[in-house]
Amino acid sequence: MAHNESAPKAGHDAHGAAVASGGGHAPAKDDPHAHAHPTWKQYKWVALILTLITVVEVWIYYTPFTQSKLFVPTLLIMSAVKFAIVVLFYMHLKYDARLFRALFTGPLIIAVVTLISLMFLFGHLAIRAGS
Amino acid sequence: MSASPALDHVHAGAHGHHYTTTGLDSRKIAIWAFIGSECMLFASLISTYLIYKGRSVVGPFPHESCAPPACATALKPILNIPVTSASTFVLLMSSLAMVLALAAVENRNLPKLTTGDRILGSSKLWLWMTCILGATFLAFQSFEFTSFVHEGLSIRTNLFGSSFFTLTGFHGAHVTAGVIWLGTLLAIDYKRGLGPADAINVDIAALYWHFVDVVWIAIFTLIYLIK
């Protein structure tokens, strides 16, 4: 037999949400966690956008823009955008349960705040009032 | 009905005992909690690198040339941006291959009418692609580490070497674990085929793989591009 007869007649979709199965895989209509995945075309566009941002990042590295005060913030913003795109679309956090978002963003916020705090503590970042 | 009673047991265990009161699969909750903890691990390694940045007494240095007496001989900036850009592209494409592998597993039972459908619906193809791209990234990293050692930078040379090799080495170890994990999925796919019932297992591996990718996105910018 393929399934334990005493087990509940349900399975899980790839998002980890319980779905009515009975051998099938379609999410239950009343399942609050059931969402559609992005399509192949969406995945293709996401990959294209990620590639373009990476190309721009590397191109900027070889331009005189590196001397600008905006160089580091620009790179950080582009990196954050790439990070968010992968997490939202490839890791499906945009479509997934809120608990997963909390499990990821909570530690991520702690990590980023700790990193920034350490930069201030060791003098790599400073706030100069009045300058 | 599978041919092996042992496999039947695995199937039953895989589908019947993972509920939580949230209605979510406990394995998926576990992988997200693990990824959260990994965020903090890599934040600590990146913090260490950034704190030590620019504080090496002797060369080679990441973005600056090094002339005597700081170095025994004149040295160029050691980071090789073109090579690392190529490896970054490879890792980004591996994430695309991974989502396509997951989609192929989820949609295995759908009819494949065209050649395009058959290509997109081949979980083996996309798992192979992800493994190969992951291995290519590791080859790039091996090349980079080897060239650094030949240019005089080891984990003991200076603060940059210590923090750089620790950070990128940890990331490389995670990629290696990911390639092995994907290899096991590929072996299962060849043995009995991966279907919609296995989607959760492939999704968990995919989440780990994408996390390794996003960590590299941060490393590439913070370590390689910001001078």
- Residue B102 is predicted with a pLDDT of 94
CB-CB neighbors (< 8 A) of A44 in chain B: 96
Question: Of B32, B17, B108, nearest to A91 (Cα)?
Answer: B32
> Which of A103, A105, A119, A124 is the mutation pick for testing B, counting most B CBs within 10 A?
A103
Q: What percent of chain A shows pLDDT beyond 70?
A: 71
Average per-residue pLDDT for chain A: 77
- Residue B2 is predicted with a pLDDT of 42
Please check whether residue B43 is in contact with residue A112, taking contact to mean a CB–CB distance below 8 angstroms: yes
Cα B170 from Cα B176, distance rounded (Å):
10
Mark yes or no for CB contact A108/B17 under 8 Å.
Answer: no
- Other C-beta atoms lying within 10 Å of the C-beta of residue A6: 7
SS3 at position B75: strand
- Residue A25 is predicted with a pLDDT of 36
* Residue A9 confidence (pLDDT) above 60: no
SS3 at position B103: helix
Residue B68 corresponds to which tokens in the numbers above? 């005597």
How far out from the chain centre does Cα B29 lie? Answer: 20
- Residue A131 is predicted with a pLDDT of 52
- Residue B203 is predicted with a pLDDT of 95
Q: Which amino acid is at B76?
A: K
List pLDDT tens digits, range A10-39: 344 555 554 433 333 334 444 444 456 788
Mark yes or no for CB contact B218/A47 under 8 Å.
Answer: no
Cα B215 from Cα B50, distance rounded (Å):
15
Beta-carbon contacts below 8 Å between A and B: 187
A44 in the same domain as A87: yes
User: Which residues of chain B register pLDDT less than 50?
Assistant: 1-15
Residue B152 corresponds to which tokens in the numbers above? 């005089």
How far out from the chain centre does Cα B102 lie? Answer: 16
A131 in the same domain as A85: no
A82, A86, A103 ranked by CB distance to B32: nearest: A103
- Residue A31 is predicted with a pLDDT of 45
Mark yes or no for CB contact A103/B33 under 8 Å.
Answer: yes
A11 in the same domain as A29: yes
CB-CB neighbors (< 8 A) of B53 in chain A: 124
A14, A54, A78 ranked by CB distance to B200: nearest: A14
Residue B75, strand partner residues: B66
- Residue A11 is predicted with a pLDDT of 43
A90 in the same domain as A46: yes
CA distances for B26 relative to B15, B19, B31, angstroms: 12, 6, 9
CB-CB neighbors (< 8 A) of A99 in chain B: 22, 24, 29, 32
- Residue A124 is predicted with a pLDDT of 78
* Residue A117 confidence (pLDDT) above 80: yes
Cα B220 from Cα B117, distance rounded (Å):
35
Closest chain B CA to residue A113: B43
| Closest CA–CA distance from residue B163 to any residue of chain A (Å) | 15
Question: Of B41, B43, A3, A32, nearest to A13 (Cα)?
Answer: A32
- Residue A26 is predicted with a pLDDT of 39
DSSP H or E segment with residue A10: strand A10-12
- Residue B211 is predicted with a pLDDT of 97
- Residue A14 is predicted with a pLDDT of 53
Closest chain A CA to residue B50: A119
List pLDDT tens digits, range A64-112: 998 889 999 999 999 999 999 999 999 999 888 889 999 999 999 999 9
- Residue A13 structural domain: 1-34
Dihedral over Cα of A30, A33, A39, A40: its sign: negative
Helix ranges (DSSP H) in chain B: 5-16, 26-52, 81-106, 115-120, 123-150, 159-192, 199-219
Residue B101 corresponds to which tokens in the numbers above? 């592998």
Instruction: Please indicate if any CB of chain A lies within 8 Å of the CB of B210.
Output: yes
DSSP H or E segment with residue A108: helix A98-121
A49 in the same domain as A8: no
Instruction: Please indicate if any CB of chain A lies within 8 Å of the CB of B19.
Output: yes
List pLDDT tens digits, range B91-113: 999 999 999 999 999 988 888 87
A89 in the same domain as A101: no
The contacts of residue B42 (CB under 8 Å, 6+ apart) are A111, B167, B170, B171, B215, B218
Please check whether residue B134 is in contact with residue B182, taking contact to mean a CB–CB distance below 8 angstroms: yes
List pLDDT tens digits, range B44-69: 999 999 999 988 888 788 888 877 77
A45 in the same domain as A91: yes
A54 in the same domain as A91: yes
Question: Of B190, B205, B44, nearest to B134 (Cα)?
Answer: B205
| Closest CA–CA distance from residue B21 to any residue of chain A (Å) | 11
A60, A100, A111 ranked by CB distance to B40: nearest: A111
A47 in the same domain as A18: no
A45 in the same domain as A26: no
A115 in the same domain as A104: yes
Cα B213 from Cα B209, distance rounded (Å):
6
**Domains within chain B, CATH numbers bracketed:** 20-225 (1.20.120.80)
Structurally, how many domains does chain A consist of? Answer: 3
A114 in the same domain as A89: no
Instruction: Please indicate if any CB of chain A lies within 8 Å of the CB of B137.
Output: no
pTM of the model: 0.84
Please check whether residue B39 is in contact with residue A104, taking contact to mean a CB–CB distance below 8 angstroms: yes
The contacts of residue B134 (CB under 8 Å, 6+ apart) are B91, B94, B175, B178, B179, B182, B209
How far out from the chain centre does Cα B122 lie? Answer: 22
Instruction: Please indicate if any CB of chain A lies within 8 Å of the CB of B5.
Output: no
